[in-house]
Chains A and B, each alone.
Chain A
Amino acid sequence: MTTPGTEADLLARVVAGDRQAFDLIMRSQENRVFSVCLRILGDRDNALDATQETFLTVFRKVEQFQGNSALSTWIYRIAVNTCYDQIRKAGRRPSEPLDDHLEPVDPAAEDAVLAAGLRPEIERALARLPADFRAAVVLSDIEGLSLPETAEALGIPVGTVKSRVFRGRRLLAEQLGNQITP
């Protein structure tokens, strides 16, 4: 992560054409961007393509960044839009499931939910959500962005984010059925 001061410095250098500065920004954000893209798209190759496309767009539009949000949030927004484009162009839902791309979990750390085999189900349920609901849930509930940050990243009002996140969770619960019933 970059501090605000160094981030502004890096951005100024990128605008001036310093590609080393851009490389630093990219390396600080690429894992999170890839993670978001993979969660939204559900396919590793597509997520890699989307990650590359995201940073191409970031580089080319960096002068348009106004500093009204965190740089990372702005990059998230580009990543989400890139994913939306992929989904729209392909006319498909994201691939499912994501199981092959998940980190192995330490069995000792698995809680009762995981032990009950819920993990693949939640992945599949997430993949079946409408793309706009899925993006909101991924950013808010998985990536841990606040509601205002999620709103910035999605380019929609906070109230709309709440609606998508809350209803997205409800849809997940409906899909998971009694597996999540305490």
Chain B
Amino acid sequence: MHSHDLDLIAAHADGSAPDDTEARALIETCSECRAEYEAQRSVLSALGTMPPVSPMTDVEKAALHRDLWTELRNPPQAARAASPGWMRWALAAAGLFVLVGVAGVLGQLGQGDSAGPEAVAFADTTTTAEAAADRGLEEPLAPQGGEDGSATTAAGDGAEDNFSETTMAAAETTATTPTDADFEVVASQARRAALAQSTTTTTVVAPEVDRCQDDERLGGQELLATVDLDRTYLIMVPAGVEITEETPITFVDAETCDVVHVVE
């Protein structure tokens, strides 16, 4: 059956055809067309008799409104809350490696302390993991495999809930604009942490719900992690490539989607 004939017959079946003369003629003269018409009508009948889904309960509505307003009323977390899906995925997939402690790293650098930024960053990460565990999360910072999306997302949710306090607290200590050297330190941390993770960054999928996802300036880039410095930055890398020590790192303002700095 031609596509045009299917369109005519289906539109006749659901009553949307402005003129069904041709469809009627087809049905009368073509057995295949008649069978198609009957199938379309039967499916429409079945769909039309489906009961409505059970509406949200009062409890579910209350939770929906509470959670929604909680997110909207918390401006400092807006950058992450604006895209809970992909940022939380990023955090889970990347093992939450770089965000915690980076502010501390920069703070120490600013004080002339050159005693190994990695050590500081990962020490702080461990502290956060322990703190999260103390709050009852199971493997709160463990990298997720990405095979089971719902499990990964759930883990990301939990990590985010416990993680935000630490990152925001750290961010408060670094209100000044990062220097080029600061970005290079973070970029180095990001590359090394990504290399150390068994999870590949290609599991991070940025859906279009986020404001930066559709930004053409970020074409060909994918999210590796986020970092809170004087503001929240997206740490992005070329999409689909294996992370090496040479991978260019692009820092993007999570609010404006502007590329702020690139570390080659």
Contacts and interface: CB of A to CB of B under 8 A. Distances in A.
B196 to A, nearest CB: 24
A176 B61 CA distance: 35
16 contacts: A19-B69, A30-B61, A52-B67, A57-B209, A81-B209, A85-B85, A91-B149, A101-B54, A102-B53, A103-B51, A114-B49, A162-B7, A162-B10, A163-B3, A169-B44, A176-B42
Contacts of A180: 39, 42-43, 45-46
Given A53-B84, A89-B205, A123 B50 contact: yes
Interface residues of A, number: 62
B193 interface: no
Interface string A79-112: 0011011001111100000100111110000110
A121 to B, nearest CB: 8
B150 A90 contact: yes
Interface of B: 3, 6-7, 10-11, 14, 16, 36, 38-40, 42-56, 60-61, 63-65, 67-69, 71-72, 81-82, 84-85, 89, 147, 149-150, 153, 205, 207-209, 211
Contacts of B207: 81, 84-85, 88-89
Given A34-B56, A60-B82, A85-B207, A105 B42 contact: no
Given A101-B53, A119-B51, A147-B16, A173 B149 contact: no
Contacts of B85: 53, 85, 89
Contact of B42 (A38, A84, A103, A182): A182
A53 B210 CA distance: 11
A56 interface: yes
Contact of A181 (B42, B44, B84): B42
Given A34-B56, A102-B51, A166-B6, A56 B72 contact: yes
Given A169-B44, A173-B43, 16 more contacts: A23-B65, A30-B64, A34-B56, A35-B52, A53-B84, A56-B84, A59-B68, A84-B207, A89-B85, A102-B52, A103-B54, A123-B50, A146-B16, A162-B10, A170-B40, A172-B46
B18 to A, nearest CB: 12
Contacts of B205: 88-89
Contacts of A173: 39-40, 42-43
Contact of A176 (B6, B36, B46, B67): B46
Interface in A46-76: 46, 48, 51-53, 55-57, 59-61
A166 B50 contact: no
A23 B61 CA distance: 12
Instruction: Tell me which of B50, B69, B150 has the highest count of chain A C-beta atoms within 10 A of its own C-beta.
Output: B50
Contact of A56 (B14, B49, B71): B71
Given A19-B69, A103-B52, A113 B45 contact: yes
B10 A172 contact: no
A90 B42 CA distance: 33
